[in-house]
Amino acid sequence: MTKKQLTLARVVAALIVIGLSVFIYSMRDRAEELAIYGYPGIFILAFMSYATVLLPAPGLWVIFTMGAVFNPLAVALVASTGATLGEISGYLAGFSGQVVVERTDIYDRLALWMRSNGPLTIFLLSVIPNPFFDIAGVAAGMLKMRLPAFLFWCWLGETGKMLLFAYAGSGFLNRFF
């Protein structure tokens, strides 16, 4: 890839991330309505919730609730796949060379962890609900972690987290309601 092509790819990636984040953030109040569409709605909701970069969007509480309505294992698998694909936006933000988070202490720490053990860092930060995973995705993109590896480790972590929330919702809501 030539330098000009790389620059163009980075600009396009940045525009996609910004546009997608603004769009999803603007409709965050209506996102839970997608859950009525079953598994496809859960997939889209998870994708949208995780496709924003550094902007909050609903998500885990719907997975918790849908675990009581549908098969929790299927909910977790569908949601983790949607969430993982949504996380590509953070990766693309890093690939585009955006420096929004580059000069922060948390970015510096995550970049250090990513350099020493990227797969484990992605797995651990995706399995634990936390606000720092977007920054880890940005770091993975900036450090040029291979996208298939990023997606694999992210999916494993997201699957663990979604299993926990779907089964917790199933047990809690079915027990008390």
> Quick one: average pLDDT of 52-57?
64
pLDDT band at 83 (very low <50, low <70, confident <90, very high): very high
Instruction: Classify residue 132 by its DSSP letter.
Output: T
Place of tokens 């917790």: 168
pLDDT digits 0-9 by tens, 91-124: 988 887 755 555 678 878 888 999 999 999 999 9
Q: Of 67-76, 133-142, 158-167, give the lowest mean pLDDT range.
A: 133-142
pTM as predicted: 0.77
Closest C-alpha to 52, from 27, 82, 20, 83: 20
pLDDT band at 55 (very low <50, low <70, confident <90, very high): low
Q: Check pLDDT > 60 for residue 30.
A: no
Position 100 scores a pLDDT of 55
Closest C-alpha to 163, from 64, 82, 84, 37: 64
> Quick one: average pLDDT of 75-97?
91
How high is the mean pLDDT of the chain? 82
Of residues 10 and 98, more confidently modeled:
10
Q: What torsion, rounded to 10 degrees, do the Cα atoms 30, 34, 36, 41 define?
A: -170
Token readout for 121 is: 């860092």
Place of tokens 């060379």: 97
Instruction: Classify residue 58 by its DSSP letter.
Output: -
**Residues of the chain above pLDDT 90, percent:** 35
| Cβ-based neighbours of 80, under 8 Å, separated by 6 or more | 46, 155, 158, 159, 161, 162, 163
Position 173 scores a pLDDT of 59
Q: For residues 93 and 44, what is the distance between their CA atoms, to the nearest angstrom?
A: 21
